[in-house]
Amino acid sequence: MNIFNRLESEVRGYVRSFPTVFCSAKNALLVNEAGQHYIDFLAGAGSLNYGHNHPILKKSVIEYMLDDGVVHGLDMATLAKKEFMQAFEQHILKPRQLNYKIQFTGPTGTNAVEAALKLARNNTGRNNVIAFTNGFHGVSLGSLALTGNQKFREAAGVNLSDVHHAAYAGYFGEDVDTIAMLEKLLADRSSGVDLPAAIIVECVQGEGGLNTASLNWLKRLSALCERFEILLIVDDIQAGCGRTGTFFSFERAGIKPDIVTLSKSLSGFGLPMSLVLMKPELDIWKPGQHNGTFRGNNLAFVTATSAIHHFWKDDCFAQQIAQKAELVKKHLLDMVAQYPQAGLKQRGRGLMQGLVFTNPAWADEVTSKAFELGLIIETSGSQGEVVKLLPPLTIEVEQLEKGLGLLSKAIASVVQQHEQTAELPLTPKNPKAALQEARA
């Protein structure tokens, strides 16, 4: 690890949480230099929904390269891009009756968010955009202005402007209707909130701690946007591509956002690729007005096409995700009941679930202990209080159960350690009350 600690900038992050050198990977398994195995419940922060080195995706990209397929093509037309668009139209858009045009942006998620913002502002002629508390949309300046987390915001060095943060679903607890609050702010022309170009939302907040908007909340948000002629942007960079159980995270809410951003697992193979979907009438770009050298990662197009053909031609994959999601939920609820001392709560949707800890420090200790035991898992949330499970959607059930077992063991170990030192969680709770609350 010496060269990483000595030469790599202090900005490095995940390498600190998982200080070992990984050298190979297969589906949900990572192997380090010493040959030790780790189960991967991080999956590239949701970039590896189909696991590491999926054999079919890997074969497609190797064959493409052996045939001297175009690797870099700016945004010129290539066979790889044509086949991706054909597959995306036929198997993703059409079956869902979605009518969108596709903008290929630079390869990272934040590139797609920046393009979506420009598009919304240019279409409406308005500056303001509404984002939500605990939202995460990337760290380039436009996206950073939307992002809630202070840790990222304070590094900006300039004013982050033209964004108003509204309360996300459940922000003030279950009893406070945050859509009604937003409605009032928009309807009252003396609220001080300028009519926004767009409202950007994650249906489940990935980095923000797995806060989950109900389908009804999303429906009402969409209706609100329609009423005030505000564009609705769903940032599906982390929650999309099957993570919550359907290809898009908004499908079950029955809404049709004006703009959608996709990235992370879009290529299916961990290769960088992003895009913006927009309703056709919003496509007011002039040729080349927004660009980027790496809008044509053809290797990513090839694996993205394979992933669509392999996973999204019918409902089978979605059903498998639902089964695994049920299994995860059951195990997490068991842990909530088993460790009342930790004051746990289960949260999330699909294979994007986690445990909220009363004391954020315990969540951190649990992920460290999990790493020792051979499980890669991270925290999220404003104080890192949520242990977030993001296993590959393709994880073998046996591996999934093994990983859940390791997580349970890690919690047991942390709980025991604190009991020995007679330290209680931040809000001391008697076990019986904690159990009742967890069940409620």
> Taking the CA atoms of the chain, what radius of gyration do you get in angstroms?
22
Of 202 and 365, which CB lies nearer to ligand PLP in the complex structure? Answer: 202
User: Residue 344 is encoded by which pair of tokens?
Assistant: 């746990």
DSSP secondary structure code for residue 167 in this structure? P
Closest contact distance (angstroms) between CB of 315 and ligand PLP is: 25
Binding footprint of ligand PLP on the chain (CB under 6 A): 108-110, 113, 136-138, 202, 206-207, 235, 237-238, 263-264
Q: How far is the CB of 50 from ligand PLP (least distance, A)?
A: 17
**Residue with token string 């009742």:** 436
Compare residues 206 and 268 and give the one whose CB is closer to ligand PLP.
206
How near is the Cβ of 392 to ligand PLP at its closest, in Å?
A: 16
- Find the shortest distance in angstroms from Cβ 188 to ligand PLP: 30
How do beta strands 29-32 and 259-262 pair?
Answer: unpaired
CB 148 within 8 A of CB 134: yes
The first and second tokens of residue 362, run together, are 């315990």
Cα(189)–Cα(164) distance, integer angstroms: 15
Q: For 344-384, where are the E strands, in sequence order? A: 345-349, 352-356, 375-376, 378-380
Q: How far is the CB of 239 from ligand PLP (least distance, A)?
A: 7
In sequence order, what are the residues at sequence separation of 6 or more whose Cβ sits closer than 8 angstroms to the Cβ of residue 32?
Answer: 20, 21, 22, 23, 38
* Shortest spacing between CB 41 and ligand PLP, in angstroms: 16
User: Residue 269 carries which DSSP code?
Assistant: S
Nearer to ligand PLP, 265 or 358 (CB): 265
Strands, E assignment, 212-283: 231-235, 259-262, 275-278
What amino acid occupies position 284?
A: I
> Pick from 204, 216, 274: which is nearest to 245 by CA?
204
Shortest CB 205 distance to ligand PLP, Å:
8
Rounded to 10 degrees, the C-alpha dihedral 379/381/383/385 comes to: -50
Question: In sequence order, what E strands does 205-274 have?
Answer: 231-235, 259-262
Residue closer to ligand PLP, measured from CB, 138 or 148: 138
Angle, to 10 degrees, between the axis of helix 360-373 and the axis of helix 397-420? Answer: 120
- Which CB, 91 or 295, lies closer to ligand PLP? 295
State in angstroms the smallest separation of the CB of 96 from ligand PLP.
20
- DSSP conformation letters of 45-104: HHT-TT-BT-HHHHHHHHHHHHTT--SB-TT---HHHHHHHHHIIIIIIGGGT---EEEE
Min dist. Cβ of residue 98 to ligand PLP (A): 19
As given in the structure block, the two tokens for residue 188 are: 């009252």
Nearest residue to ligand PLP, by Cβ distance, number only: 109
Query: Least Å distance between CB 344 and ligand PLP?
Result: 24
Name which of 239 and 342 has its Cβ closer to ligand PLP: 239
* Choice between 109 and 209, CB closer to ligand PLP: 109
Q: Which is nearer to ligand PLP, 210 or 404 (CB)?
A: 210
Minimum separation from the CB atom of position 172 to ligand PLP (A): 22
Q: What is the DSSP pairing of strand 231-235 with strand 198-201?
A: parallel
**Would you say 350 or 425 has its CB closer to ligand PLP?**
350
Nearer of residues 54 and 137 to ligand PLP, judged by Cβ: 137
- Nearest to 262, CA basis, from 247, 274, 254: 274
Give one word for 51, left, alpha or beta, with left for phi > 0 and alpha for psi -120 to 50: left
Nearer residue to ligand PLP within complex by CB, 138 or 340: 138
